Amino acid sequence: MLSVAGLASAIAADAQPKANPVPNLPARKSPPIIILKLDDLPGTIAPSFRKMADLLEKRNIKGSFGVISAVTWPGAKPVQDGDPEYVEWVKKLHASGRVEFWFHGWDHAGHMENGESHNEFHGRTYEDQKARFDRGQKVAFEKFGFHYQTFGPGGGPSKYGIGKKLEAQGKVMILDRVWDVNLEKSVGNPDFNAFVTGYAKHPDREYFVLQGHPNPWNDAKFEEVTKIIDFLIQQKAVFMTPSEFVAFKRKK
Q: Note the CATH architecture for domain 2-251.
A: Alpha-Beta Barrel (3.20)
pLDDT tens-place string over residues 49-74: 999 999 999 999 999 999 999 987 88
CA distance 144 to 182: 30
Helix (H) or strand (E) holding 105: strand 99-105
CA distance 216 to 42: 13
Answer yes or no: are the C-beta atoms of 128 and 158 closer than 8 Å: no
On average, the pLDDT of the chain sits at: 85
pLDDT at 14 over 60: no
Contacts of 77 (CB under 8 A, 6+ apart): 42, 43, 44, 71, 83
Decide: pTM greater than 0.95: no
Residue 62 identity (one-letter amino acid): K
CA distance 159 to 221: 32
